[in-house]
Amino acid sequence: MSVRETISFQLNGRPVTLSVPITMDSLTMLRDELKMTGTKYGCGEGECGACTILVDGVSVNACLMFAVDCDGRDVTTIEGLHKGSMSRLQELFVEEGAVQCGFCTPGMIMQATSLLRQQPEMTVDQIRRGIEGNLCRCTGYKKIVDAITAAVHENAVVEEGDA
């Protein structure tokens, strides 16, 4: 029988408490235990960025983080950016044609949100470097970079809660 631990943390602004196996990763906890299926499983090895979430406002690959390490933290998934309607950054992804199959999109949006909060005045080169860990098989990245660039121009993500 696997050893379990009870953890409590903020998930998309709401408190959650649950028991998890100490070997479980955060991605499995979010998708299977908490039904936050917007966060995607791509590689399970930290190579694709599909599982990107924010932990205390910083982007993290959920597949590489133990679920127990969420204890006491502030965790945001793509569902947490939708406050009755899409965030402006999400709208810009749609407007710029940056979403094709959509598999990479939640992770890309979370990574971009983290980048925009840390560095609102990013250049195109800084945007390209910032999303290097997020793979997209469909778009060739240009439209994704265009969408994030538009967000920079609009100052669309200024602080926690405004995404």
Q: Which residue from 139, 118, 138 is spatially nearest to 130, judged by alpha carbons?
A: 118
Task: Find the shortest distance in angstroms from Cβ 150 to ligand FES.
Answer: 17
Kindly tell me which of 18 and 64 has the beta carbon lying closer to ligand FES: 64
Please state, in angstroms and rounded to a whole number, the distance separating the CA atoms of residues 78 and 68: 20
Kindly tell me which of 49 and 130 has the beta carbon lying closer to ligand FES: 49
Kindly tell me which of 57 and 102 has the beta carbon lying closer to ligand FES: 102
Task: Find the shortest distance in angstroms from Cβ 144 to ligand FES.
Answer: 8
Task: Find the shortest distance in angstroms from Cβ 99 to ligand FES.
Answer: 6
Task: Find the shortest distance in angstroms from Cβ 106 to ligand FES.
Answer: 10
Kindly tell me which of 101 and 158 has the beta carbon lying closer to ligand FES: 101
Binding site residues, ligand FES, CB under 6 A: 41-44, 46-51, 61, 63, 99-104, 136-139
Kindly tell me which of 43 and 124 has the beta carbon lying closer to ligand FES: 43
Task: Find the shortest distance in angstroms from Cβ 31 to ligand FES.
Answer: 10
Q: Could you tell me if residue 44 is left (phi over 0), alpha (psi between -120 and 50 degrees) or otherwise beta?
A: left
